[in-house]
Amino acid sequence: MDYLFDDFQKELIKQANRIGREKVKPLAAEYDREGTFPKKLIKVFAEAGFYTIYIPEEYGGIGRGILDLVLVTEEISRFCGGISLAVAATALGTFPIIIGGNEEQKKKYLPELAAGESIAAFGLTEPAAGSDAGKIQTRAVKKGDKYILNGTKVFITNGGNARINTIIASTDPERGTRGATAFIVEEGMPGFRYGKMEDKMGIRASSTAELIFEDCEVPVANRIGEEGQGFMVAMKTLDKSRPGVAAQALGIAQGAFDLACEYAKTREQFGQSIIKFQAIQFMLADMATQIEASRAMLYATSRMIDNGIDDVAKESSMCKIMASDTAMQVTTDAVQIFGGYGYMRDYPVEKMMRDAKITQIYEGTNQILRMVIARQLIKDITRHT
Amino acid sequence: MKIAVLVKLVPDSEAQIKLNADKSWIETRDISWVMGPYDEYAIEEALKTAGDKGGEVTVISYGDEQAVDGLRKALAMGVHNAVRVKREGEQDLLGTANALAEALKDNGYDLIFTGFKANDDDCAAIGTMVGTLLDIPVITEVSKLEVGEGNVRAERDIEGGREIIEASMPCVITAQKGLNEPRYASLKGIMMAKKKQIEEVVVTHTESRIEMAGLNYPPERAAGKVVGEGAEAVPELVRLLREEAKVIE
Ligand SMILES: Cc1cc2nc3c(=O)[nH]c(=O)nc-3n(C[C@H](O)[C@H](O)[C@H](O)COP(=O)(O)OP(=O)(O)OC[C@H]3O[C@@H](n4cnc5c(N)ncnc54)[C@H](O)[C@@H]3O)c2cc1C
Ligand SMILES: Cc1cc2nc3c(=O)[nH]c(=O)nc-3n(C[C@H](O)[C@H](O)[C@H](O)COP(=O)(O)OP(=O)(O)OC[C@H]3O[C@@H](n4cnc5c(N)ncnc54)[C@H](O)[C@@H]3O)c2cc1C
């Protein structure tokens, strides 16, 4: 399918693919086994300018959009769905500043993020507030020119490695989601430390950590927007970053599909290569169809966002569900096509199957996202009747 | 310091090379063109040297319109200026070297880098010829370089050892693998490269003294031969490897 990319996008895809092939692929298995955070590769991504894509030009970026970020995330994810998070989750942690930050905050934080000198993380989830994010208990109390934060965030991607953390805390628990506020918390601010580093099923080259705030002092200047706007900033952030999860899922699926085709061509049973069997052909045909459908929906949604359409909760949920379910199905089928070898760590497809699973869970589980879609459907139905 | 880098566009190493209908040249329609890997080493070394010592890097390519793609790639990596020396008709190696030398001379370059070969025709001649035509020292297949004040110290691999060569500047350095790890062009660089002006230079051309008579595919690899199965087959296999294939003694 031809997605009618502009010249720049064509070069960006080539560049990301080349870096994926030359730098990410050789390290993927080792980093997965050891759970290594890809510091070395972040340098390469920074040099290539992957962190400049979504940052406006006046702050050191190139002011491009979600589609470009999606294309890079997809290409890197073909080679490792964990390593790609060093880019995608930094975007997630940076969006709150772009969406809700004031001029001083943008000037202060965006240039170092664009240069890839620092990476970012986004902290919303808490032990008792996962899908029900409105129930966050981390408190922020204003004292003079500081806020004092107390609480714990869990499962934070890039946690432990991000210098810049955008955190959602409650300034007014009575008001629920309307009492949430976003803050920029720098590594090293007094009272901020890392807790448990998670040992995960997949995306093991990505760090997932607990962030602990004990009388953590954050300057008032680091509040994003006004008190009470935190939830809105978080939701707008997730609407923009959800295509990134879809891109990660799509890349993983494409990577597994490519390997499955190659293997099916070369593996011989019953005196011929197994790609000659219709059972295998139909599996590959279904995989290819699901991948292309996910891709079409993802690029269309990304283009909506890039053209300034604000209300994309439904579309971004749809493309994340579609791509993540596809990734799970395609990687499972890829393991199937590899037969017994697919089940072994010596072959790359079992890792892809483990990596794929997370995309159905985070940035809104696929159940929660169905609720988001349904809510919008009901709105649309009422509007039309 | 003024530094020049000579580059050539070559078919992507993943491209399927086919000959055109009359076998006079390769079919160029579906080929994507890239800068050869050795030229990338040359560019990286030039940029590194300019970064350390201060100075400007100019990338120069002799070729038709397509050469512009390669020049833009070099610009995206951070090279300051780009020059296309217009090609007219087919040239032999000396003609190409003459054209490049003419574009280089009188411009006061302190260092001229190029890949030791282009990985399409593998001639490995241009750097040496250009240096000779300009009457300046040439050090080929360099895998380590130190640039001093007015001189360079280069290392190159030779059979069973390393050769260390010193020369005064200006000189020509042809880059071998191992010299450095080329940087990736940044997205910002790719964007800016699109807007940059590429200078075009016209030089006088010499008459080509050779003619391309034709191209041919390499001979088809003969099918493998199954000698037998199991341990019994080993003596026969060893005999064939020694006597027919002559790969063991
Ligand atoms: C590797 C990893 C990285 C992460 N990175 C980040 C990060 O960077 N920042 C961040 O803030 N968070 C992050 N998260 C958290 C992630 O977003 C949450 O795990 C997710 O939102 C689900 O929350 P939960 O784990 O508490 O599950 P729960 O909310 O407890 O859900 C358990 C199950 O119940 C279902 N469920 C819950 N409510 C309903 C309902 N109303 N109707 C139907 N089904 C329901 C869910 O779909 C799920 O299947 C990360 C998580 C992981 C595992
Ligand atoms: C953990 C583990 C434990 C095992 N334990 C044992 C054991 O104890 N003893 C033992 O003997 N074996 C054992 N096996 C081997 C196992 O039975 C084989 O892996 C299995 O039979 C598949 O063979 P294969 O891996 O060679 O895959 P292949 O036969 O190469 O199959 C690859 C793919 O092609 C498909 N395919 C093959 N032929 C056709 C066809 N004609 N039409 C359509 N599709 C086709 C397969 O369904 C599969 O999807 C074990 C394997 C594993 C992974």
Question: What CA–CA distance (Å, rounded) separates A168 from A213?
Answer: 12
The Cα-based distances of A300 to A4, A68, A294 in angstroms read 11, 12, 10
Ligand 2 pocket mutation, candidates A274, A331, A335, criterion most atoms within 8 A of CB: A274
Q: Identify whether residues A106 and A208 lie together within a single domain.
A: no
Tell whether A263 and A321 lie within a shared domain.
yes
- Of the residues A92, A114, A136, the one at which a domain ends: A114
Give the total number of structural domains in chain A.
3
pLDDT at A70 over 90: yes
One domain for residues A46 and A92: yes
The answer to whether residue A254 is domain-embedded is yes
Distances (CA, A) of A149 to A182, A184, A193, B13: 11, 12, 12, 56
Q: How confident is the model at residue B53 (pLDDT cuts 50, 70, 90)?
A: very high
Residues A98, A175: one domain? no
pLDDT on residue A208: 98
Q: Would you say residue A385 lies in a domain?
A: no
**H helical segments located in chain B:** 37-53, 67-77, 93-104, 126-134, 187-195, 234-243
Query: Token pair for residue B80?
Result: 């300051």
Same domain, residue pair A260 and A366: yes
Question: Does A247 lie in the same domain as A353?
Answer: yes
Least confident residue range of A122-131, A134-143, B229-238 = B229-238
Q: Say if A58 is an interface residue toward chain B (CB within 8 Å).
A: no
Using DSSP bridges, classify how beta strands B81-86 and B199-201 pair: parallel, antiparallel or unpaired. parallel
- Tell whether A267 and A332 lie within a shared domain: yes
CATH number for A208? 2.40.110.10
Q: Do A367 and A280 share a structural domain?
A: yes
User: How many Cα atoms occupy the beta-carbon half-sphere of B182 within 13 Å?
Assistant: 26
Give the pLDDT confidence of A74-93 residue by residue, as tens digits: 999 999 999 999 999 999 99
Q: Is B183 on the interface with A (CB under 8 A)?
A: yes
Ligand nearest to the Cα of A280, by number: 2
**Nearest residue in B to A9, CA atom:** B187
What residue numbers bound the domain in which A49 lies? 2-114
Q: How far is CA B174 from the centre of its chain?
A: 8
pTM given for the model = 0.92
Residue B47's pLDDT is 97
Instruction: State how far the Cα of A174 lies from the Cα of A227, in Å rounded to an integer.
Output: 13
What is the three-class DSSP state of A180? strand
Convert the pLDDT of each residue in A114-125 to its tens digit. 999 999 999 999
Of A362, A363, A370, the residue with max ligand 1 atoms within 8 A of its CB, to mutate for a pocket test, comes to A362
CA A60 – CA A66 distance, rounded (Å): 17
Confidence of residue B213 (pLDDT cuts 50, 70, 90): confident
List residues near ligand 2 (CB under 6 A).
A 267, 269-270, 274, 277, 279-280, 336-337, 339-341, 343
Characterise B23 by phi-psi region: left (phi > 0), alpha (psi -120 to 50), beta (else): left
**Peptide bond before residue A127 is cis, with ω within 30 degrees of 0:** no
Q: Residue A52 and residue B183: Cβ atoms within 8 Å?
A: no
* Listed residues A93, A114, A135: the one ending a domain: A114
Element containing residue A48 per DSSP (H, E): helix A39-48
> Do A57 and A140 reside in the same domain of the chain?
no
pLDDT band at B65 (very low <50, low <70, confident <90, very high): confident
Within-domain flag for A287: yes
How many angstroms separate the alpha carbon of residue A155 from the centre of ligand 2? 37
Tokens of B86: 């217009």
Q: Going by C-beta distance under 8 Å and a sequence separation of 6 or more, which residues neighbour residue B119?
A: B10, B13, B36, B37, B38
Q: Read off the pLDDT of residues B113-160 as tens digits, 9 standing for 90 and up.
A: 999 998 788 888 999 999 999 999 999 999 999 999 999 999 999 999
B190 contact A CB<8A: yes
Residues in chain A: 385
Residues A167 and A78 in one domain: no
Residue A224 domain-assigned?
Answer: yes
- For residue A340, how far is its CA from the centre of ligand 2 (angstroms)? 5
Residues of chain B with CATH 3.40.50.620: 2-201
Taking only the tens place, the pLDDT of each residue in B147-181 is 999 999 999 999 999 999 999 999 999 999 999 99
- Do A71 and A105 reside in the same domain of the chain? yes
Whether A197 and A311 map to the same domain: the answer is no
Q: How many CA atoms lie within 13 A of B207 on its CB side?
A: 1
Q: What is the dihedral of CA A4, A9, A12, A14, to 10 degrees?
A: 20
**Could you give the CA distance from residue B78 to residue B83 in angstroms, rounded to a whole number?**
14
Question: Tell me: domain B2-201, CATH 2.30.130.10, correct?
Answer: no
According to the model, what pLDDT value does residue B29 have? 80
Last residue of a domain, one of A114, A146, A173: A114
Q: Which backbone phi and psi does A254 adopt, to 5 degrees?
A: -60, -45
The domain that contains A276 carries what CATH number?
1.20.140.10
Domain membership of residue A46 (yes or no) is yes
Q: Does A7 sit within 8 Å of B187, measured CB to CB?
A: no
Q: Does B25 contact A at CB distance below 8 Å?
A: no
Tokens of B164: 């260390």
Nearest CB to A8: which of B183, B185, B190?
A: B190
Please answer yes or no on whether A49 and B188 come within 8 Å at the CB atom: yes
Whether residue B14 is predicted with pLDDT greater than 80 in this model: the reply is: no
